[in-house]
């Protein structure tokens, strides 16, 4: 009985299949779905299968999809050719001008970009991102008044869109209006919450205006919020250097070196400048770049008056070709002089070419002569 029912079902299914016939695939609709879902290469292949010779074919949609596919695959010029064809075929969706504008942006055709967004009309005014792009296009063609007015237009329509305010701030900085940029940032950007880049830009403006203390306070706040941002840490250290607060700068760079080892050399150099050679030595040991490490150790040894240690580094200094540096030659000559090795000291000092350093070396030559004639005078 079960076998008879199964056979009847199979016959019924076969008859239904024959009655319905083969299903025709709508390649245009399928490619549209693929584009929306981000499957661009598949959409491109499917579009190639579309039969454009059928009656009442939808060329507007076809050319639009072609334009989008070429845009997504990096062919902005070809993309706009198809998008223009779509418009000629009756494509009336204003967003098509946004696609054209993006293509013009890629090709640095800013006048054409502005014209495309103007053609989109009200749709552009309702899209804050497009207004930002339009303002930037005006800036690129040196029309700052139009750029500023476009941002004002955007703020009137979308007062909560933070990028309008930040873009105005950066325009003020680029034009060199540092004081106005600071005031603008305090008035508008702070309410939105500074990004790491905002902290950097505003601190730079304060630094350019000579307001180092305010810049340091702002950067300290930024470092607390974005403690993994190496640029904030670097600028904070530099602001302390600007004020000759070398110990504070060294502390900042030492903290930074825990995440970013490249700051170890700066921290060590600044500890040395702050007359803290022991701390400088500790940071020097973290330096990965050996040439920089040995170059810096010479200065540390001088400040520690560890002339034996300095002389012991002669071979590594040769290995890294540091003896071609007149400063290193003078330091080694001085170390040998302090150790009483006068002939070796003289041989290093005689190799110096720099006139200023050679003047200092001349004084040592006189001291060496005195010491050689009267050893007790140099004890």
Exposed (0-12), middle (13-18) or buried (19+): which is 123, by Cβ within 10 Å? middle
Mean pLDDT of 239-249: 96
Q: Enter the tokens of residue 174.
A: 């680029």
**How many helices and strands in the chain, by DSSP H and E?**
25, 0
CA nearest to 229, candidates 259, 204, 203, 191: 259
DSSP states of 51-84: -TTSTT--HHHHHHHHHHHHHHTT-HHHHHHHHH
Distance CA 91, CA 357 (A): 77
Domain ranges of the chain: 289-379
Q: Enter the tokens of residue 139.
A: 């800036």
Q: Enter the tokens of residue 355.
A: 């006139």
The more confident residue out of 173 and 190 is 173
Phi and psi of 261, rounded to 5°? -55, -20
Distance CA 119, CA 313 (A): 72
The residues, any chain, with a CB within 8 Å of residue 53's CB and separated by 6 or more, are: none
Distance CA 137, CA 139 (A): 5
pLDDT digits (tens, 9 = 90+) for 31-50: 688 878 777 788 777 777 77
The more confident residue out of 338 and 38 is 338
Report the chain's mean pLDDT, rounded to a whole number: 86
pLDDT digits (tens, 9 = 90+) for 127-172: 999 999 999 999 999 999 999 999 999 999 998 887 888 888 889 8
Are 131 and 149 spatial neighbours (Cβ–Cβ below 8 Å)? no
pLDDT of residue 320: 87
Distance CA 236, CA 266 (A): 13
Buried b (16+ CB within 10 A) or exposed e, 4-17: eeeeeeeeeeeeee
DSSP states of 196-241: HHHHHHHHHHHHHTT-HHHHHHHHHHHHHH-TT-HHHHHHHHHHHH
Distance CA 311, CA 313 (A): 5
For the beta carbon of residue 159, count every other beta carbon within 10 angstroms. 9
The residues, any chain, with a CB within 8 Å of residue 124's CB and separated by 6 or more, are: 94, 97, 98, 117, 118, 130, 131, 134
pLDDT of residue 165: 85
Are 50 and 26 spatial neighbours (Cβ–Cβ below 8 Å)? no
Distance CA 248, CA 254 (A): 10
Distance CA 358, CA 370 (A): 18
The radius of gyration of the chain's CA atoms, rounded to the nearest angstrom, is 36
Listed in order, strand segments (DSSP E) in the chain are none
Distance CA 62, CA 30 (A): 11
In a 3-state reduction of DSSP, which class is residue 345? Answer: helix
- In this prediction, residue 231 has a pLDDT band, given cuts at 50, 70 and 90, of very high
> What is the end-to-end Cα distance of the chain in Å, rounded?
123
pLDDT of residue 53: 80
Phi and psi of 50, rounded to 5°? -70, 135
CATH class of residue range 289-379: mainly alpha
Distance CA 337, CA 346 (A): 8
pLDDT digits (tens, 9 = 90+) for 75-131: 899 888 989 888 988 888 898 999 999 999 999 999 999 999 999 999 999 999 999
Instruction: Choose the weakest-confidence range: 94-103, 206-215, 220-229, 246-255.
Output: 206-215
């Amino acid at each position: 009985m079960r076998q008879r029912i199964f056979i009847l079902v199979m016959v019924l299914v076969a008859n239904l299949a024959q009655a319905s016939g083969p299903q025709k695939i709508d390649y245009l609709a399928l490619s549209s779905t693929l584009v929306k879902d981000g499957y661009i290469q598949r959409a491109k292949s499917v579009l190639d299968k579309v039969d454009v010779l059928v009656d009442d074919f939808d060329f507007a949609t076809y050319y639009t999809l072609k334009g989008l596919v070429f845009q997504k695959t990096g062919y902005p010029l070809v993309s706009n050719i198809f998008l223009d064809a779509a418009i000629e075929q009756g494509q009336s969706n204003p967003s098509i001008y946004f696609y054209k504008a993006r293509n013009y942006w890629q090709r640095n055709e800013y006048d054409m970009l502005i014209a495309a967004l103007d053609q989109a009309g009200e749709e552009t005014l309702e899209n804050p991102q497009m207004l930002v792009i339009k303002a930037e296009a005006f800036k690129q063609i040196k029309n700052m008044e139009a750029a500023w007015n476009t941002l004002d237009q955007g703020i009137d329509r979308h007062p909560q869109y933070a990028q309008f305010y930040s873009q105005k701030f950066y325009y003020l900085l680029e034009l060199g209006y540092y004081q106005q940029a600071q005031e603008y940032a305090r008035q508008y950007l702070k309410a939105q919450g500074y990004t790491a880049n905002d902290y950097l830009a505003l601190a730079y403006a304060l630094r350019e205006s000579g307001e180092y203390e305010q810049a340091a306070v702002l950067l300290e706040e930024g470092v607390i919020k974005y403690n993994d941002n190496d640029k904030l840490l670097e600028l904070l250290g530099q602001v302390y250097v600007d004020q000759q607060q070398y110990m504070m700068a060294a502390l900042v760079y030492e903290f930074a070196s825990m995440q970013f080892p490249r700051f170890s050399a700066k921290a060590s150099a600044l500890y040395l400048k702050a007359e803290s050679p022991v701390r400088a030595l500790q940071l020097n040991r973290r330096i990965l770049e050996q040439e920089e490490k040995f170059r810096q150790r010479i200065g540390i040894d001088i400040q520690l008056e560890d002339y034996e240690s300095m002389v012991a580094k002669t071979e590594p200094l040769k290995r890294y070709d540091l003896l071609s540096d007149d400063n290193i030659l003078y330091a080694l000559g001085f170390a040998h002089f302090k150790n009483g090795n006068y002939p070796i000291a003289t041989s290093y000092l005689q190799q110096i070419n720099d006139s200023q350093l050679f003047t200092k070396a001349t004084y040592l030559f006189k001291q060496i002569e005195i010491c050689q004639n009267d050893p007790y005078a140099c004890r």
